[in-house]
Amino acid sequence: MTKYVIKKAGKYWPSKAMKDIAWVNDSKIYKQADKDPVKFWGELAKQGLIWEEPWEKTYQEKLPYFYWFKGGKINFCVNALDRHLAHGNKPALIWVPEPIKEKPIILTYAELFQQVNKFANALKQKGVKKSDAVSIYLPLVPEALVAMLACSRIGAIHSVVFSAFAPDALKSRIQDCEAKVLVTADGYYRRGKPVNLLKKAKKALRGTKIKKVIVVPRLHKNKNYFGKFENFNMFIYGKKSYCAPEIMNSEDPLFILYTSGTTGKPKGIVHDTGGYATQAYYTAKYNFNLKKDDIMWCTADIGWVTGHTYAFYGPLLNGATTLIYEGTPDFPNPDRWWKIIDKYKVSVFYTAPTAIRMFMKLGDKYVNKHKMNSLKILATVGEPIDNDAWNWYFKKIGKSRCPIIDTWWQTETGGTLINVLPGIGPFIPTIAGKSFPGTKHTILNKSGKKVKKGFLVQESPFAPGMLHGVYKDHKKYVETYWKSFKTKYDTSDGAIMKNGLFRITGRTDDVMKVAGHRLATAELENAINTNKLVNESAVVPIPDKIRGQVPIAFVILKKGQGSEKLEKLLKEHVDKHLGPTARPAKIYFVNALPKTRSGKIMRRILKSLLANEEPAGLTTLLNPKCVDEIKKIIQPDLKKPENAKKSKTKK
Ligand code: PRX
């Protein structure tokens, strides 16, 4: 069995076998790229992508905006599909449905090309033009890829909304990007049961400008749709299988993806075409060492940026095969994932630490019986990975043969930015690694001085895949990313530098990561506050062994007492407004929340209390007495009340 790692001085490094197959195996690349990052990216973009017309200026910066490949003309879909048609019989996509009795769908590049072109022509016939937004509310089904690529073919901007989001969340996103077309499905399978997605989609439509709803008949429940609803298969039926690609400017938007910020309203993160394509292509190539015969499985849903860049676009830009799985990881048995890896000979596996922790808890017997000897590279994303989870992943899934690439990035960055390259190493638990060649990150303190532990920022020239602003919200873009450090992009993450490598310590703002999903405390508070019984609420995250973090809510009722029944009702209320991912793990009913004299809720005091720590800074509170009341209420849930220690939180 080929070993792709070796152990030297207590650390893992790439073996000769890995170095031999790696696209990048010489650390000189960092220095070379650093000398002239603009030239570095310019050369990569020229070599790696098909441009209809060359650019005039490789990089232009007018902060807070910056532009890559200005004047360059490109079509994204041509790069993801057309250029691989010489190997048209090669699988582009393997789709594994949840029900084990159902057959997988394998689409070759030629077949995918045909479907994408038909869908593109159908969209055009319905009047969808360049720069129009199309909302996509789909589970992990092949049609999601078809719809997204079809949009890129005609220059429309896709906005994918996570299928587990509630109707309200879908509605606000449709309204913000003013989409007139929605692509959705009648449903999908979860734990063997059909989930009715169309019902949720229908609820979201009122008050939007949606004129056409294209429905993927995943559950085959209803073949005939009326009015603005049309069956996906009928929509593309009889359409021509070639649609001339729209020639786009490099900096034209490719997609908008909404993500949580520190306020209640999600931000529409805009990604452009040429810059994003360059970063998606090269990060997929260098991080995962993708070759044409590789089968990459990125387990992320397409509702998240990881799904966009590494379940779909990165592998396709590289002409590799991507595998997606519709269902629940442990259904019908806890070894479903490992069976898939063996059956389809997955060579690159990319998942989130939360999933690894879940499988760890289920026990080793489910993984031990699977060889998984097709694997070459393992990777993680979304949250810090702890030592135990790293070691379990390394030993049990990688069978101590494969490197783990811990990739740090964000919805805003479009592609990975900090990680170790597989042909270079070292692979160290809890360490993300170095800035991707041609990019630069530093750690600053509040006053902007370079330090070893503090705020992680990105330096100019900013990476090509970086966001192109917040959709229709210049103010928010400036406030969120450029207010703190002016000429440097504020990642809102904390980091520590150790031997030239970054360890990511987590968000420095009011954003939680719940099972790898990004969620703002304000967003959840807003949802809770819309319940007519609620006067006010505060949400804080607490650590969770499996999910990384989970939200805890403190609620003041308008009148009356809290009860278990009311807690259940409010949790259901959150499910309805945001979706189950955001559901608080616990709701405490309180009479007051700790506030500053100016009325700001002091969430850090709530955090300390939940951590069983004595909170500092109580003297600055408007209502210090409420702290004792809250302590009493939460006390029964704190495991070791006698261990209360002095809080390290600053005053
Ligand atoms: O806090 C960081 C964390 O996820 C945040 C970005 O979340 P989102 O936009 O949903 O994108 C997730 C997938 C790219 C970051 O600000 N994060 C992401 N990757 C890592 C991470 N934290 C630690 N280690 C990582 N590898």
Higher confidence at residue 83 or residue 622? Answer: 83
pLDDT above 80 (res 331): yes
pLDDT above 50 (res 215): yes
Residue nearest to atom 22 of ligand 1 (CA): 383
Q: Which of the four pLDDT bands, split at 50, 70 and 90, describes residue 224?
A: confident
pLDDT value at position 265? 82
* 259 CA: nearest ligand 1 atom: 9
Looking at residues 139-151, what average pLDDT do you find?
A: 98
- Amino acid symbol at 500: G
Whether the Cβ atoms of residue 378 and residue 393 lie closer than 8 Å to each other: yes
- Amino acid symbol at 520: A
359-375 confidence digits (pLDDT tens): 999 999 999 999 999 99
* 511 CA: nearest ligand 1 atom: 1
pLDDT value at position 649? 40
pLDDT value at position 644? 47
Looking at residues 340-347, what average pLDDT do you find?
A: 98
In a domain? residue 314: yes
Q: Is 283 in the pocket of ligand 1 (CB under 6 A)?
A: no
- 419 CA to centre of ligand 1 in angstroms: 12
Q: Is 437 in the pocket of ligand 1 (CB under 6 A)?
A: no
Together in a domain, 135 and 184:
yes
pLDDT above 60 (res 101): yes
Q: Is 120 in the pocket of ligand 1 (CB under 6 A)?
A: no
**Mean of per-residue pLDDT scores for the chain:** 95
| Dist CA 413 CA 393 (whole Å) | 26
Residue ending a domain, choose from 475, 498, 521? 498
Mutate-to-test residue for ligand 1 from 267, 381, 470, 502, highest number of ligand atoms within 8 A of CB: 381
- Amino acid symbol at 121: N
- 516 CA to centre of ligand 1 in angstroms: 8
Q: How far is CA 530 from the centre of its chain?
A: 27
pLDDT above 60 (res 585): yes
377-407 confidence digits (pLDDT tens): 999 999 999 999 999 999 999 999 999 999 9
Which CATH number characterizes residue 430's domain? 3.40.50.12780
Min mean pLDDT across 55-69, 134-148, 463-477, 606-620 is at 606-620
Q: 27 lies in which domain range?
A: 5-75+256-260+268-498
Together in a domain, 60 and 129:
no
In a domain? residue 92: no
- 642 CA to centre of ligand 1 in angstroms: 35
Residue ending a domain, choose from 463, 498, 533? 498
Q: Is 490 in the pocket of ligand 1 (CB under 6 A)?
A: no
Looking at residues 526-532, what average pLDDT do you find?
A: 94
Looking at residues 196-220, what average pLDDT do you find?
A: 96
Together in a domain, 278 and 223:
no
pLDDT value at position 619? 82
Together in a domain, 471 and 531:
no
In a domain? residue 82: no
Residue nearest to atom 11 of ligand 1 (CA): 410
Residue nearest to atom 8 of ligand 1 (CA): 410
Q: Map tokens 């004792």 to a residue.
A: 628
Q: How many domains does the chain have?
A: 3
Together in a domain, 194 and 323:
no
- 37 CA to centre of ligand 1 in angstroms: 24
Residue nearest to atom 25 of ligand 1 (CA): 408
11-30 confidence digits (pLDDT tens): 999 999 999 999 999 999 99
Together in a domain, 464 and 523:
no
33-61 confidence digits (pLDDT tens): 999 999 999 999 999 999 999 999 999 99
CA nearest 356: which of 390, 331, 383?
A: 390
Residue nearest to atom 5 of ligand 1 (CA): 410
Which CATH number characterizes residue 182's domain? 3.40.50.980
Q: Is 384 in the pocket of ligand 1 (CB under 6 A)?
A: yes
Q: Which of the four pLDDT bands, split at 50, 70 and 90, describes residue 641?
A: very low
- 481 CA to centre of ligand 1 in angstroms: 15
CA nearest 593: which of 645, 539, 517?
A: 539
CA distances from 183 to 145, 151, 165, 421 (A): 11, 11, 15, 37
* 492 CA: nearest ligand 1 atom: 16
pLDDT value at position 145? 98
Together in a domain, 407 and 338:
yes
Residue nearest to atom 14 of ligand 1 (CA): 410
Q: Is 95 in the pocket of ligand 1 (CB under 6 A)?
A: no
pLDDT value at position 639? 63
536-564 confidence digits (pLDDT tens): 999 999 999 999 999 999 999 999 999 99
Q: Map tokens 């220095």 to a residue.
A: 31
Q: Which of the four pLDDT bands, split at 50, 70 and 90, describes residue 445?
A: very high
pLDDT above 80 (res 642): no
pLDDT above 50 (res 651): no
Together in a domain, 282 and 353:
yes
CA nearest 444: which of 402, 493, 404?
A: 493
- In this structure, the strands spanning 548-557 and 534-544 are antiparallel
pLDDT value at position 102? 97
Together in a domain, 314 and 387:
yes
User: Cis omega before residue 332 (within 30°)?
Assistant: yes
Mutate-to-test residue for ligand 1 from 493, 510, 581, highest number of ligand atoms within 8 A of CB: 493
DSSP conformational letter for 481: H
Together in a domain, 199 and 118:
yes
pLDDT value at position 620? 82
- 417 CA to centre of ligand 1 in angstroms: 11
Together in a domain, 618 and 564:
yes
Residue ending a domain, choose from 439, 473, 498? 498
CA nearest 494: which of 509, 508, 474?
A: 508
In a domain? residue 96: no
Residue-by-residue DSSP string for 81-142: TGGGGGGTTSEEEEEE-SSTTSPPEEEEHHHHHHHHHHHHHHHHHTT--TT-EEEEE--S-H
Looking at residues 180-198, what average pLDDT do you find?
A: 97
pLDDT value at position 103? 97
In a domain? residue 91: no
Q: Which of the four pLDDT bands, split at 50, 70 and 90, describes residue 423?
A: very high
pLDDT value at position 640? 52
Residue nearest to atom 4 of ligand 1 (CA): 382
Q: Is 308 in the pocket of ligand 1 (CB under 6 A)?
A: no
In a domain? residue 376: yes
Tokens at 86, concatenated: 């010489």
Which CATH number characterizes residue 634's domain? 3.30.300.30
* 513 CA: nearest ligand 1 atom: 4
Together in a domain, 299 and 379:
yes
- 393 CA to centre of ligand 1 in angstroms: 19
In a domain? residue 400: yes
Q: In percent, how much of the chain has pLDDT > 90?
A: 91
In a domain? residue 102: no
pLDDT value at position 646? 45
Looking at residues 432-457, what average pLDDT do you find?
A: 97
Q: Which of the four pLDDT bands, split at 50, 70 and 90, describes residue 409?
A: very high
Q: Is 390 in the pocket of ligand 1 (CB under 6 A)?
A: no
Q: Is 296 in the pocket of ligand 1 (CB under 6 A)?
A: no
pLDDT value at position 648? 45
